[in-house]
Amino acid sequence: MEAGWTRFAVRSPRAEAMWLCLFDGEEETRHPMEREGDNWTLSLPADLSGAGYGYRAEGRWEPAEGHWFDASKLLVDPYAVELDRRFIQSPRLAAFGNDTADIIPRSIVAAPIKVAPIKPRRFARGGLVYELNVRAFTMLHPDVPEALRGTVAALAHPAVLDHLTRLHVSAVELMPIVAWIDERHLPPLGLVNSWGYNPVAMMALDPGLCPGGVEELRRTVAALHDAGMGVLLDMVFNHSGESDVQGGVLSLRGLDNAMYAHAPNGQLINDTGCGNTLDFANPAVRELTLHAMRHFVVQCGIDGFRFDLAPIMARGPGFASDAPIFAEIAADAVLADRVLIAEPWDIGPGGYQLGQFPANWLEWNDRFRDDGRHFWKGEGNIGTLATRLAGSTDIFGSQSPPEGCRSVNFLAAHDGFTLADTVSYEQRHNQANGEDNRDGHGENFSWNNGIEGPSDDPAVAAARHRDLEALLGTLFASTGTIMLTAGDEFGRTQRGNNNAYCQDNEIGWIDWATRDTALEEHTCALSAARAARLPLFERFPEPVTWQNREGEPMTVADWEHPGAHWLSCSANADEFGFAIDRAARQVLIRPS
């Protein structure tokens, strides 16, 4: 934007005509745009800061061949940083010739913002990442004012900051907060997407979660920084909420559908399970991704990112450990020092890539989750657990990079059973999702301590409490960065629902009134002990002494014994160590 002028530009290589649509209330004025190579541009002699706008593109309508041009569809700017309303799902979004201006959000012309100097990231490997759903975290918080509940601003409330500080959180990881749309099957069921993993605008904050826009996120990040915590954003760059061939025309699909990956027969590739997949072999996709990341760092002070289904970013079409996006991030002056965390799997061919990301990336380690649960369920091997506790060198190698171990260890995440439900349910209970309990993971390596679900039996409650303490102890004793999902520190439940993405209600919301305060204090004590000796957890110390129950060095027979339930480890003249006793359901971390 130049003084007295506003310039608009949008990429659409195959469009035959393009219009900028400006809105004054509901009144729309269309301005023809001019082609400049793959882009269409228009400069208007006015400062249009705060004005609502969108685009209309004309061209071929042949979805079977990958062309979705329909001038009746108002299209959201892929580079928009603010929208005036949330997306709503409607059959009209996919119907050719059906105008959608009354139901599509308007992009808002952003006013120039004075950018503060970029500060070094706030995070160290070995720390505690606290994963949270912004809305679910505060909807029932008794100390947060009702007007703030469910918003990004609520995270800056003193009561929230106090809880995070008591847990010694190194960085909060916010589940998606950019604008998304519900999946088509949800509205008829009376349900909504409450997780946000179905984005349309990659950098426009969702108006429901962040009604104050960029300024609200900036203030909240500053408050968390002042409290000593970093802020990470969970980003979904692998697909668009425009979905499969039956999905709506909302933004990218109507402007440049070639940014999606297509098979030779014109069908959308679905390596994400969401109906479409963005093609990171396309430089335009990578530039949009980099631009979005820079925006959140420069404008909001974000310390890093977790990437949903991250192998997509390195596909061309197969996964490549030297994919262009890795080098581009590493060479970017704004992004090179940020925290980068991969969810290292997707559902495409060769989609499981744990341990294959660059050395400066961290990776979610689902093997830690599964092997940890196996062990405490009574099925796992003590040697396998030791490998996980020592940083999963079988996966990431014995030589840690200078910054430390790359594993992000977790025992529960937003996707799957909560930690408390892991010890309370043997089977998923997702009936409320409207899919006849077919959705969600079928195998959770969980157990119920004799009764499925809630129980008033004191013995069952005590057993579950011991199991949770043991699981948490295992997590906090492990080498690498650790992740705790909000509420697991005090035994939150989702009533056995292991896929609560569509439960924007008491199933998905954290109930602060019924939390297990004894478990919470136990978790805080574990975290305090770990935080006080954080460098010890960045990489596994050497030399290490492994001992059996009798205090003797572990032998091959000890490691391989199927019934072994005791393990002790010490290092650095006993400055660091732990003991695990499966029979007693205990994990002791030294020094306490």
- Token pair, residue 445, equals 């390596």
As a whole number of angstroms, the distance between CA 480 and CA 499 comes to: 27
Is residue 343 flagged as an active site residue?
yes
Identity at 187, one-letter amino acid code: P
List all residues 6 or more positions away from 204 whose beta carbon is below 8 Å from its beta carbon.
76, 80, 81, 82, 83, 107, 178, 179
As a whole number of angstroms, the distance between CA 503 and CA 509 comes to: 8
As a whole number of angstroms, the distance between CA 285 and CA 509 comes to: 34
Question: Which one is catalytic: 77, 206, 343, 538?
Answer: 343
In DSSP terms, 589 is beta-bridged to 578
In DSSP terms, 434 is beta-bridged to none
- Helix (H), strand (E) at residue 588: strand 586-590
Question: Which one is catalytic: 70, 206, 279, 308?
Answer: 308
Question: Is-contact 74 54, C-beta < 8 A?
Answer: yes
The per-residue b/e assignment along 90-120, b for 16 or more CB within 10 angstroms, e otherwise, is beebbeeeebbeeebbbbbbbeeeeeeeeee
List all residues 6 or more positions away from 84 whose beta carbon is below 8 Å from its beta carbon.
52, 105, 106, 108, 207
- Helix (H), strand (E) at residue 53: strand 52-58
As a whole number of angstroms, the distance between CA 298 and CA 217 comes to: 12
Question: Is-contact 565 383, C-beta < 8 A?
Answer: no
Is residue 558 flagged as an active site residue?
no
Q: How many C-alpha atoms does 409 have within 13 Å on its Cβ side?
A: 34
Residue 467's closest CA among 567, 585, 580?
585
Residue 329's closest CA among 314, 348, 308?
314
Tell me the catalytic residues: 308, 343
